[in-house]
Amino acid sequence: MPTIADAYDQWADQYDTNQNKTRDLEGHALRTLLDSLERPLASVLEIGCGTGKNSEWLVTRAQQVVGVDFSLEMLARAQAKVQAENIRFEFADITEPWEFTDQKFDLITFSLVLEHVEDLRFVFAQTLAHAKPGGLVYVGELHPFKQYQGSQARFDTPAGRVEVPVFQHHVAEFTQLAKAAGLYLLDLREWFDEDAPAGPPRILTLLFQRMQVVS
């Protein structure tokens, strides 16, 4: 099985053109949820920017966006797609200390990222350290219910199917580990396929907030 980074490097040239309900519904969920906030965003840290599928929307909503990924091929496509002056892209592995920035952000987003991370405690701790007091954290993931049924990130190549390594995290794991890190749940939603509204939800979104510092 390839590493996660190697798999996404292989996937990059077809990621935007493949039929992918998970990619498309998560993008819709992010836009819908964040548009409903009706609050200005000076700075956004986008973790797992991939090919820029959400970056091109975020740059229209924030004064500054930093897009991070650890697939060089994905980053190359994001940089070619999103050439706005208010975004910069960084190569980084978020399972290591976040030395790619010392900035604190109004919003940090994770789109289809945390299923590829085994230790959520470390990532949530780094998130807290880079969120402004009162800052928001958006998480959009393949719903655990879909994982329980065997769904995971995968794509086909001429040599065969490639399955991207994943870890299973339950809904309570997301919420409790985030709370333990100092991130408090504001919103939890489940998003269903239009053609299967009675089936299991495809996407789970969670919106957290770092508490304000009281002096």
Residue 215: what pLDDT?
A: 46
The H or E element spanning position 132 is strand 131-142
Q: Does 24 have pLDDT greater than 90?
A: yes
- Check if the beta carbon of residue 89 is closer than 8 Å to that of residue 78: yes
Percentage of the chain lying above the pLDDT 90 cut: 88
Residue 213: what pLDDT?
A: 57
Residue written as tokens 């495809």? 202
CA dihedral 143, 149, 153, 158 (to 10 degrees): -160
Residues for the chain: how many in total?
Answer: 215
Q: What is the pLDDT of residues 156-208, one digit of tens each?
A: 988 899 989 999 999 999 999 999 999 999 999 999 999 888 889 999 999 99
- Check if the beta carbon of residue 197 is closer than 8 Å to that of residue 215: no
Q: What is the pLDDT of residues 106-139, one digit of tens each?
A: 999 999 999 999 999 999 999 999 999 999 999 9
pTM comes to 0.95
Residue 116: what pLDDT?
A: 97
Mean residue pLDDT of the chain comes to: 94
Contacts of 126 (CB under 8 A, 6+ apart): 94, 97, 98
